Structure 1
């Protein structure tokens, strides 16, 4: 059912839309009276790294509140406008269907868009777009839709996923829709990937990743982050190793690639949500560490020069800056990184309404910046009284009708927007282009057109001296379902690790009963299984061999353990294939390898314990029926960090399940939920701190959408779910704690809470 077909929601959004319209008219007037807010004026307030310049690519009234975009083969920008986001501190009108997908075009080729077409409107908080075949995937919570494109207008509409963004609020719902090298579409704040096969859509579970924005490197590995993290990423191909839900953490996925989270704003930034807390701002009132990191981009263009290729850029809208990080690869798959410089940023602005929320590579090689350009970027659920006051003092509610897209280029450069060739042979040649965007688009166009006549040219490209072309040719053949066993085996045995890695990664797509023997023989060859770089991949591939040849899968597993029993990456790969068999497997393994400190033994013990604990959990349906409002609040505000099972999520939040804070003194728990918790926190004998968790949990006591009765039910749901069992929390107890700390505008610390009896 579409949004407009739900009558119980109509009156709510109509009232909101009316007020939102009034605010937008006021905003337009306010903007016109304040020339210092123009795009040209904002540009003058930016400082970019020496040797670069920032140019305007689009601005209001052509675009407003841009949050995501993609380019088509003609170099046009397809932009997602989230106009409904936080029109005021109450979020009035947020449910109004005011979002749009627009097509921006530069018809006179001067680098600035001058034509706007509305592809789709009347959307509620849209957040992502992906072009594929003759249509567009559009994320409009809770749905994921596929629209056919008919003359730049939306045609037939197909529901791809009714629960794409079913849980969480606008800050914590899936987004991204990155069409990756392996021909799957990935998301941030999600563990789901999608793929179009004919007229059908495949949906699979993979690793949970990030919060807002997702990118890939030249090897097809994914990178992401959350609001307090610089860059997180995966060492291995995204489709591997996620099939064992008992293994909550697996080495090589969700890694803090750049652990340094320091930022260097160009001006005082008191308008951040927890600016009142010690350590959030420095002595000059400038943000110390990331608090709204988003839109990570692995730059794959060819315009900036060799030193910038595969650098990681991250937007920080709260501090009005963009950070540059330098990444390097070690030991074949390990990626580490560091900030490009200390004390300054790649781009910073003194305009506090400059809100970069997403970064994109462009067909011209430039780096594109989506600037939402507004004062409020914190959602109402977590908006503290402190920040509400900051917004009021500096009138940050307005304007609401602005939005800019910038492109960053080398100083003096004016690169021409490239259009993709239509000839299939030219597209194969484009797979060698130094610009990663061009290579990706060429691969996608060849697959979308399903033109099998191009297969011979792709097969020839597999042997190209240009390794990037060879890699893209491999995955293009995979996307066309024309990749042969011989071609995959040649890649697996290549002298180049870059090619060998892709050969191993593509095996799950092509292995079957008939060809499995050839793949098993290749994986068992001494040269391959003895290669430390290949070993984790072989471990992941056991999953796909198991249903075809159980004995070969077992033999391969034992061979890996013999060689790599103390390698945590191989251990994680092996355990990923042992769902619900961990304890039995561990018992047998200890007879042969009794050293409990070996990586394989410690991982098996940890995962077996996870499974044992899960079996002790209460029936979730019974608890949900008892506390329906508590369930809704948990899913919208808590689950995205603490997990549906209450066991926490790596790099985000500690467990609630069996936590002494949840099961213990109500007078300590209620303040945490109302006002938040900051700093390291001990849970079940383990001290959780950054970067293992964000170490800053926002309170929800300041939002007007939850009453004390609602918060009491949320607490009762948490205190009686999973393996928790604690006394009831009443509405009056929540009210009493709220009154006790009336006027408090900062989060608690563990030290403060420890003084409460």
Structure 2
């Protein structure tokens, strides 16, 4: 597509119409040949109308071999902020239309939020049907689909919602806790995220000081320190990752729950450790468009001479990619979104026994970047099909009113970014020559679930672990004991141990064996799991 330069013109001027039309055609057409990599900063019009989903596909720049596919868009999804799947492959979406409907956030606390289920009703492989599972919500922002219900985070509540008659509409909701943040906290920092971790705890981010754990069919709340801003994820070793808007990645080398036991403890070394790179600056970003629409674009150092954002200002939703349908070198990497920069960054992790180090995957490019100013990636997810999914809130204004500067308010009005709202897209990232895994997730029998713990896709392994713990079938124990010592993957051995713990079926023999495992990650899990025998006189795990 040829580069296009425009001058600011009054609305209705023929030149502006012609330029916008040309750009939209350029966005709609997929490139006839591979785009240059790295892409560099593209010259784009100062102002563009919203792109259609098909047009938006032409705005993305990715490394060679990677492609973006559209999964769902308005009107099937609107204002999406979080997603999850059930074992039948249906997509569950949290929608937040109450977020910044105008620059004053008018009606922000109106009960207009929704959870919707998007599915393929006619069996042609394309999502085509939308069902509103729950509505009347106020700024809901977290979801976890369970075996017998759906957890929904609506600060300060966490609800367990159930459909009792199979019509995909909520019939009953039960409050699990009222300690999930506070309603009066700004949207960007409030409690969010439900990541079912290796340790069978639901890890969260933002202003929340409790986490949930399922025990004997009931959720209990456990104290944790407040950590991160928006998004949470874990790796195969069970390490938990979060971040804040200007700091790309933090890790819990030591679970934060240990530090919550003593409120007077000020130093929390090992928890929420900021990762840095000895090779390049971890917080550097490389957009593919000039980015004047930043909250503090006027400050020195925020943008480069070419007008592009120089460093993270809205880092969020860190995700450890653990799928099996993208190149193997992506596995275990962390993807971090920056909605203000219209990009998703890729960080490569290295764990050497002394800690974790991160570095940027590309010296002067990003994993994904868009020339569309309204592309706002706010949630990343591993999927049942082994790919990576991106939730795009797709709107002009992403900054909350409490932090909106006069500069950005004026910029948003001049460039007509305040409206429309009510849009939204969900994309998947695929790679040439690799098909998605569209096979059904076998979850009916306990034996199937134990086998699934050895699957190459982390989403399927995690789902198997969760279902085994939820269902509590003790018939799984003998197979799990064998898996804990004989599985080829260290991650599977660790998951078998934690699944036994979740079933309250772990004994000291398995822990003693795991302490001698060849994998340091398995040994680390064994140390934590040995805690139940602390205080037992003359026990070998003392």
TM-score w.r.t. length of structure 1? 0.62
Shift of 1:147: 1.6
Shift of 1:115: 1.5
Matched with 1:247 is 265
1:444 aligns with 2:466: yes
Matched with 2:128 is 114
- Equivalent residue in structure 2 for 1:484, among 490, 507, 517: 507
RMSD over aligned CA atoms reads 1.8
Distance 1:472 1:487 in 2: 13
Residue by residue over 1:181-214, the C-alpha shift from the partner in whole angstroms, topping out at 9 and shown as x without a partner, is: 1001111013321112245331111233100000
1:564-603 → structure 2 map (5 Å cutoff): none
1:276 aligns with 2:298: yes
Matched with 1:159 is 175
Matched with 1:227 is 245
Matched with 1:542 is none
Distance 1:207 1:237 in 2: 10
Unaligned residue ranges in structure 2 (runs of 5+): 1-47
Matched with 1:188 is 205
Are 1:431 and 1:468, in contact at CA under 8 Å, matched by a contact in 2? no
1:13-24 → structure 2 map (5 Å cutoff): none
1:135-154 → structure 2 map (5 Å cutoff): 135-150=149-164, 151=166, 152-154=168-170
1:506-545 → structure 2 map (5 Å cutoff): 506-508=529-531, 510-511=532-533, 514=536, 517-520=539-542
Shift of 1:500: 1.2
Shift of 1:512: 6.0
- Equivalent residue in structure 2 for 1:172, among 189, 193, 215: 189
1:474 aligns with 2:490: no
Decide whether aligned partners of structure 1 residues 128 and 446 sit closer, same or farther in structure 2, where only a CA change above 3 A counts: same
Distance 1:110 1:290 in 2: 40
Decide whether aligned partners of structure 1 residues 177 and 465 sit closer, same or farther in structure 2, where only a CA change above 3 A counts: closer
Distance 2:251 2:193 in 1: 15
Residue 153 of structure 1: SS of its match in structure 2? coil
- Please identify, of 200-209 and 85-94, the stretch whose mean Cα deviation from structure 2 is larger: 200-209
- Equivalent residue in structure 1 for 2:370, among 344, 349, 354: 349
1:306-317 → structure 2 map (5 Å cutoff): 306-317=328-339
Are 2:454 and 2:487, in contact at CA under 8 Å, matched by a contact in 1? no
Of Structure 1 and Structure 2, the greater helix share is in 1
Residue by residue over 1:429-472, the C-alpha shift from the partner in whole angstroms, topping out at 9 and shown as x without a partner, is: 11011111111001111111111112111111112242222111
TM-score w.r.t. length of structure 2? 0.86
Matched with 2:40 is none
Are 2:344 and 2:367, in contact at CA under 8 Å, matched by a contact in 1? yes
Residue by residue over 1:264-292, the C-alpha shift from the partner in whole angstroms, topping out at 9 and shown as x without a partner, is: 11111111100111111111221111111
Residue 455 of structure 1: SS of its match in structure 2? helix
Matched with 1:45 is 59
Distance 1:395 1:317 in 2: 18
Residue by residue over 1:114-140, the C-alpha shift from the partner in whole angstroms, topping out at 9 and shown as x without a partner, is: 121111011111110112341121111
Distance 1:516 1:42 in 2: 66
Aligned length: 485
Distance 2:465 2:374 in 1: 38
Residue 247 of structure 2: SS of its match in structure 1? coil
Higher Cα radius of gyration: 1
Decide whether aligned partners of structure 1 residues 135 and 251 sit closer, same or farther in structure 2, where only a CA change above 3 A counts: same
Are 1:221 and 1:238, in contact at CA under 8 Å, matched by a contact in 2? no
Shift of 1:413: 3.7
Shift of 1:518: 2.6
Residue 286 of structure 1: SS of its match in structure 2? coil
Residue by residue over 1:389-429, the C-alpha shift from the partner in whole angstroms, topping out at 9 and shown as x without a partner, is: 11011110112111100000112544143432122112111
Of Structure 1 and Structure 2, the greater strand share is in 2
Residue 348 of structure 2: SS of its match in structure 1? strand
Matched with 2:403 is 382
Residue by residue over 1:326-376, the C-alpha shift from the partner in whole angstroms, topping out at 9 and shown as x without a partner, is: 00002x250001000122111000100000001000011101000000011
Higher RCO (CA-CA < 8 Å; seq separation 6+)? 2
Shift of 1:241: 4.0
Unaligned residue ranges in structure 1 (runs of 5+): 1-33, 521-757
Shift of 1:485: 1.4
Are 1:75 and 1:418, in contact at CA under 8 Å, matched by a contact in 2? no
Matched with 2:97 is 83
Shift of 1:161: 1.8
Residue 224 of structure 2: SS of its match in structure 1? strand
